[in-house]
Structure 1
Amino acid sequence: MNYLNESIDQLHQNLVHQKLSAKELATNTLDNIKKTDDKFNSFISLNENAPKEAEAITEFDTPLAGIPIAVKDNIVTTEMKTTAASRMLENFVSVYDATVVSKLKDQKAVIIGKPNLDEFAMGSSTETSYFGVSKNPWDHTKVPGGSSGGSATAVASGQVVAALGSDTGGSIRQPSAFTGIFGIKPTYGRVSRWGLIAFSSSLDQIGVMTKRVKDAAYVLNAISGHDERDSTSSMREVPDFTKALNKDVKGLKIAVPKEYFEIGVSDEVKRVVNEAIKVYEENGAIVEEVSLPHTKYVIPTYYLIASSEASSNLQRFDGIRYGFRASDVKSLADVYVKTRSEGFGDEVKRRIMLGTFSLSAGTYDAYFKKAAQLRTLIKQDFDRLFEKYDLVMGPTAPTTAFGIDAKNDDPMTMYANDILTISANMAGIPAASIPAGLASDNMPVGLQIMAQRFDEEAIFNAASFYEDYSKFYEKVPSEMEDK
């Protein structure tokens, strides 16, 4: 089964009317992934038991019943290993499912496999994965973005119709932009984080990646809602996001931050995004340029906060309880030092060291505390905007997808790739990337749409409007075209 031209609605109807069975769908999906994944390296693990699990589904009374869905490999599952793309967890199998996985199973979805990612979700290209880089379906010499690069590649290449990702500073939206798909990070607290391997607990959020907007609405419906096991989970009632797709943007007030077109954004990205925003204006939306004055501080603020929380969260990987343990050790100190030295990759070590430094007694006030104060100012920038505007729009990433190995020697340049997406995580607001069009290099450009807290419906409506206009989902990635 190739999903390049399929939607969840179409698949559901085929299952209901017995044009294919859930077992056939799961079997064909697995076969296609195995046939194509040597080109893409999308997956770390596959659920070989999926056809048997699908065969047990006899009633297709939910939109996701029998639909194969991929789950990023930092979200724990009982059927397959959860590695976080790290040597540290190379053979780890969880004894429980993450809440989002349980919710998908409650809707009778079939968990088909675990896509690749940057190690412990730390990266913007999937190049820090212990299992190798995933390839962009539009050009195999380019990265698919990160950290949810495997999920993005799996969807963009037609291996799956939907995948879960996680987003700490843009890790759903940036790879969605690079691969020409729709990706949404919901409001912090909308979706339970229980069972997500923590990177930065105050920023992490699970979201959805699909080719079509409505498909993402179905999946977000399924995974949203309160979870008593997650203390940050919201009690707010979850609407039916599929009912928000009315495609009416007349009178919609859109803020376009001037800073989002100044900080290293390529001329091609500016052109494509401005053309997309103009479509909203021509259809009755009110578009105004605004300022988010603290945008220039988001990179240092994010990397101090995220690295500090990562330093704390990754203390548990010590070679004692689970995961990789170094051999040839002579003392307990040896176990800790050698296990972490051999088990973690360079980028993870870099962030642990930065976080440990910023939390230390002599530097806490100068670094972490200042970053926390700046985070508040960044959030207040958005609070003021949303008193007047419905949505904020701009580019998702400053450039189109860059080449594999192009930025590995310069971490700061790699970090700058997240400058447009980080603010939404800082403010805890929902944000999505939808394909705006193709740049002159024939690579996708993403339009980022942000809304106030718990107003994912506004994003779905605006995104479905532009999708209906552009029909970008009909475009086939270059590497998938019949040659």
Structure 2
Amino acid sequence: MSLNKLTIAAARDALKAGEVTSVEITEACLAEIDAAGALNAFCAKTPEIALAQAKAADARLKAGDAPAMCGIPLGIKDLFCTKGVASQAASRILEGFKPEYESTVTQNLWDAGAVMLGKLSMDEFAMGSSNETACYGPVVSPWKVDDRQLTPGGSSGGSAAAVAADLCLAATGTDTGGSIRQPAAFTGIVGIKPTYGRVSRWGVVAFASSLDQAGPMTKSVRDAAIMLGTMASNDAKDSTCADIPVPDFEAALTGDIRGKKIGIPREYRMEGMPAEIEKLWSDGAAMLRDAGAEIVEISLPHTKYALPAYYVIAPAEASSNLARYDGVRYGHRATLSAGEGIVDMYEKTRAEGFGPEVQRRIMIGTYVLSAGFYDAYYNRARRVRALIKQDFDQAFAAGIDSILTPATPSSAFGLGEMKDADPVEMYLNDVFTVTVNLAGLPGISVPVGLDAKGLPMGLQLIGRPWEEGDLLNQALVLEKAAGFAAKPAKWW
């Protein structure tokens, strides 16, 4: 088996047994990345850093002082600040920005001995569901079933494509409205969005601060448990990071879910849902029932208001967060003509630096926060958000352990297919995922089957707050029962 195809768990065991070195695995991944230019997944390669970190990891392994992630080569989403390495959130406005500091998540990974292969492309400022808004051009999914190039999903599309194509053993992602779970479902990998506050947001370029959460994108549920344990920490630099000890998520993977109550929300049965998604969902419920769980129909009555509430709150926070990009301190600065002043520089810089989707969301956000509309839109959306959270709280209070839903309303679509559509069509991709961010809950996407065309489809499990271990254990049962082992045929 090629070393780049290893899971984190298998690589960890082989490294500890001395059967293979981190340098060998890293070199296998670097060769694979160089050969996969057609996917456009990596926007910055860091082979020198990778080999230096791999050598250091091998020394730690030899000395017997090696945590689980030691020597594991990873891809890092372009939203995480990495010291001295271009970190530009896939936006022209951050061209040339090389941070002088490391995000808490990447620092935790490097402290554990993980290896950075490079930065992964994404939708600009994490705004998008198809990875077509990046200044680097679209990322292409490794899955191919006809002559089209397919989307890997977004915004963590580079992460999803790289993991699915075995360019790295795992990758970091971020999820504001489904940006870990939707691309994971589209590419046949596992992606978990932890409870809001479980993982530090310090050093992660902000999109919507009350919704953003970083998490791992991996080849298996066990790998997600291992990597989440390293990424999560209590961090004084992020005031929204919870001061709660990080449990051993891998130890929670017992594979026993007897007596667990799993809810099926009737509001997620959308009109016009493809029959394949409907079947996948009922098959998933049957798999969990066969494992001893009790399947209960539940109601989350405010679900239908989730998308509109999300597309008020997220752009409002984005317009506030993105106000800092003005061409004054760092990143892109427009060239001015004689007689033009500071306001012209702001306007020109932003017009040149931000892509159309980011501009659209900044304008929506500024509008809903403006004096005459703040109450009508933003405050009303916040009240709806509280009701959505209350729906989940009531379900959990009634004894539900987790909730099973589809991860996406379809399998992957072709790049460019949504271009001329109404932007709302694209936003509907998040219909099953945004509620989880609005309520601050953990959610995981697990690949469960292929559609008629041969493309992967995933199911989502939504867990109780702070109970990622329990959620991962249920996801493990689903993963085992589904036995999903399909990989994209190599065409790139």
TM-score (norm 2): 0.95
Q: Which residue in the other structure is 2:44 paired with?
A: 45
Q: Name the residue aligned to 1:316.
A: 324
After superposition, where does 1:56-205 map in structure 2 within 5 Å? 56-57=56-57, 58-60=59-61, 61-139=66-144, 141-205=149-213
The alpha carbon displacement at 1:263 in A equals 4.4
Going from structure 1 to structure 2, the CA distance change for 1:113 and 1:264 (only over 3 Å counts) comes to farther
2:427 counterpart (415, 420, 439): 415
Tell me the residue number matched to 2:475. 463
For residue 405 of structure 2, the aligned residue among 394, 398, 418 is 394
Give the secondary structure class of the aligned counterpart of 2:374: coil
Residue deviations 1:395-418 (CA, integer Å, cap 9, x gap) = 001111111111122201000110
In the TM superposition, what whole-angstrom CA distance separates every residue of 1:316-361 from its partner, at most 9, and x where no partner exists? 0000000001113421111100000000000000000000000000
Assess if the C-alpha contact under 8 Å between 2:5 and 2:169 holds in 1.
no
Q: Look up the match of 2:290.
A: 282
Distance 1:480 1:272, change over 3 A: farther
122-131 vs 270-279, greater mean Cα deviation:
270-279
Cα gap change, 1:450 to 1:4, in 2 (>3 Å): farther
Report the alpha carbon displacement of residue 238 of structure 1 after superposing the two structures with TM: 1.0
CA contact (8 A) 1:272 1:439 kept: no
Give 1:448's aligned residue.
460
Q: Secondary structure at the match of 2:449?
A: strand
In percent, how many aligned pairs have the same letter? 46
For residues 5 and 465 of structure 1, what CA distance do their matches in structure 2 show?
A: 22
Show the counterpart of 2:307: 299
Matched residues in 2 for 1:3 and 1:460: separation?
26
Letter of the 1:355 counterpart: G
Residues 1:347 and 1:115: Cα distance change in structure 2 (over 3 Å): same
Superposed CA deviations along residues 271-298 of structure 1, whole A, max 9, x for unmatched, are: 1121111111122211122111111111
* Distance of aligned partners of 1:4 and 1:288 in 2 relative to their CA distance in 1, 3 Å threshold: farther
Letter in 2 for 1:421: T
Q: Is the contact between residue 4 and residue 157 of structure 1 (CA under 8 Å) also seen in structure 2?
A: no
**Partner in structure 2 of residue 24 of structure 1:** 24
Deviates more, 1:16-25 or 1:380-389: 16-25
The correspondence of residues 206-217 of structure 1 with structure 2, limited to 5 A, is: 206-217=214-225
Listed one character per residue, the Cα deviations across residues 102-154 of structure 1 (whole Å, up to 9, x for unaligned) are: 10011011111111100000000000111011111112621010000000000
Of 259-268 and 319-328, more deviation after overlay is shown by 259-268
- CA shift, 1:201, in A, is 0.1
**Equivalent position of 1:365 in the other structure:** 375
Say whether the 8 Å CA contact 1:4–1:156 is kept in structure 2. Answer: no
One-letter amino acid of the structure 2 residue matched with residue 156 of structure 1: A
1:63, CA displacement in angstroms?
A: 1.4
The Cα shift of 1:379 comes to 0.3
SS in 2 for 1:56: helix
TM-score (normalizing by structure 1): 0.97
Measure how far apart 1:21 and its partner are: 2.2
Whether contact under 8 Å (1:74, 1:196) holds in the other structure is yes
Q: CA deviation at 1:3?
A: 5.8
Matched-pair contact (CA < 8 Å) for 1:183–1:432:
yes
Once the two structures are TM-superposed, the CA of residue 265 in structure 1 deviates from its matched residue by: 2.5
Aligned equivalent of 2:443, options 431, 441, 449: 431
Give the deviation of 1:470 after TM superposition.
Answer: 2.4
Report the 3-state secondary structure (helix = DSSP H, G, I; strand = E; otherwise coil) of the residue aligned with 2:239: coil
Q: Distance in 1 between matches of 2:283 and 2:104?
A: 40
- Output the CA distance in 1 between the equivalents of 2:490 and 2:95: 30
The whole-number CA distance in structure 2 between the counterparts of 1:390 and 1:350 is 38
Distance in 2 of aligned mates of 1:75 and 1:406 = 29
- Give the Å deviation of 1:467: 1.6
Greater CA drift, 249-258 or 120-129 = 249-258
Q: Which moved more, 1:285-294 or 1:180-189?
A: 285-294
Q: Bigger CA drift: 278-287 or 336-345? A: 278-287
Instruction: Return the offset for 1:19.
Output: 2.8
Residue type of the partner of 1:164?
Answer: T
Instruction: Indicate if the aligned counterparts of 1:83 and 1:90 stay in contact, CA closer than 8 A.
Output: yes
Structure 2 partner of 1:336: 346
Gaps of 5+ in 2: none
For 2:132 and 2:455, the matched residues in 1 are separated by: 19
Maintained 8 Å contact 2:316/2:364: yes
- Structure 2 distance, partners of 1:457, 1:129, is 34
Separation in 1, partners of 2:249, 2:269: 30
Q: Secondary structure at the match of 1:293?
A: coil
Matches of 2:271 and 2:264, distance apart in 1 = 14
Count of aligned positions: 479
CA contact (8 A) 2:4 2:28 kept: no
| Inter-partner Cα distance in structure 2 for 1:273 and 1:233 | 33
1:193-272 correspondence runs (5 A):
193-272=201-280
**8 Å Cα contact 2:194-2:213 kept in structure 1:** yes
The Cα offsets for residues 438-461 of structure 1, whole Å up to 9 and x where unpaired, read as: 111111111000011001012110
Contact preservation (8 Å) 1:24, 1:51: no
How far 1:366 sits from its partner (Å)? 0.4
- Give the whole-Å Cα distance in 2 for the aligned partners of 1:322 and 1:303: 29
Q: Residues 55 and 268 from structure 1, CA distance in 2 versus in 1: closer, same or farther, beyond 3 angstroms?
A: same
Q: Distance in 1 between matches of 2:378 and 2:470?
A: 34
Whole-angstrom distance in 1 between the partners of 2:99 and 2:84 = 8
Contact kept, 8 Å, 1:168 with 1:205, in 2: the verdict is yes
User: Separation in 2 of the partners of 1:289 and 1:364?
Assistant: 37
Unaligned ranges ≥5, structure 1: none
Q: Deviations over 1:368-403 (max 9, x none)?
A: 010000000000000000112000011001111111
RMSD: 1.4
Q: CA deviation at 1:20?
A: 2.6
Counterpart of 2:90, as a letter, is A
The alpha-carbon deviation at position 13 of structure 1 amounts to: 2.8
